[in-house]
Structure 1
Amino acid sequence: MDEQLRPINPIRLDKWLWAARFFKTRSLASTSIDAGHVHLNDERAKPARNVKVGDRLRILSPSGEFIVTILKLDDRRGPASEAHLLYTETDASQQAREARRQAQKLAPVFNHPDIRGRPTKKWRRQLHYFERKQDE
């Protein structure tokens, strides 16, 4: 059926989030909405709430925090290139995610080859020694 001829019926929030590829499954989208990680027009929403063009969403997903405006409604999950056409992200949201990504890159990573589960007594002593040296 041609996209121009498809009737635009109300679409549930969880279904739209899934179609826009913010979450891998609809159940993950629904769980995230129930947990309060998705706000519709600055209000906490429910998964069955209908969305419309022009609605503003604040989405906290594993990929980061997104502030988007809905441009199109679609209940089909297509390729990522089509999913990006369903919404527009604010510049502030993009800049905040980029800043978070840069901060994560610059954050020190503490990898020790001997760590497997709980630290040994010897490793704990080395950690305490290191912490005491930092305080001085």
Structure 2
Amino acid sequence: MEKVRIDKWLWAVRIFKTRSLAAEECGKGHVSIGDTRVKASREVKVGDVVKVRVPPIEREYVVKQVTDKRMSAQLAVDFVEEITPQEKLDILRGTFMQFESRDRGSGRPTKRDRRLIDKLKEL
């Protein structure tokens, strides 16, 4: 197998939980090969650099092998290599940790707090 649809490959190597979610993200323009946004039907081949936008950053992967069969996470590392710079990953980690933690005993967030949290998560 030399080429496979990008939505199948993203699902097979466990970047997305479902193939329909992978296709949806392609349709929204959140997936690109090189610098070109692609549709779900675009074929991917070995050596392609796939970029997936996960707000607030864009994750980058290199296609090491192609497959259309879903596999375990242990086997998936043979098919994909993440090349996202560490600085971007630190931004992503900091964003989630900043808003997800609450002091114990502080109770539920108020409506105003909830709206603020939702607004910050959209960034």
- For normalisation by structure 2, the TM-score amounts to 0.74
Question: Which blocks of at least 5 consecutive residues in structure 1 are unaligned?
Answer: 1-7, 120-136
SS of 1:29's partner is helix
User: 1:11 pairs with 4, 16, 30, which one?
Assistant: 4
CA positional deviation for 1:65: 3.6
- When the two chains are superposed, the root-mean-square deviation of aligned CA atoms in Å is 2.6
Structure with more relative contact order (C-alpha pairs < 8 Å, separation 6 or more): 2
Structure 1: how far apart are the matches of 2:19 and 2:99?
A: 33
SS of 1:48's partner is coil
- For normalisation by structure 1, the TM-score amounts to 0.68
User: 1:41 pairs with 34, 38, 41, which one?
Assistant: 34
Runs of 4+ in 1 over 2 A off after TM superposition: 102-116
How many residue pairs get matched? 109
Classify 1:108/1:11 alpha carbon distance in 2 versus 1 (closer, same or farther; 3 Å): closer
SS of 1:76's partner is coil
Structure 2: how far apart are the matches of 1:88 and 1:108?
A: 28
Structure 1: how far apart are the matches of 2:108 and 2:67?
A: 50
Identical columns (%): 33
User: 2:88 pairs with 96, 109, 123, which one?
Assistant: 96
In our comparison, the structure showing a higher alpha carbon Rg is 1
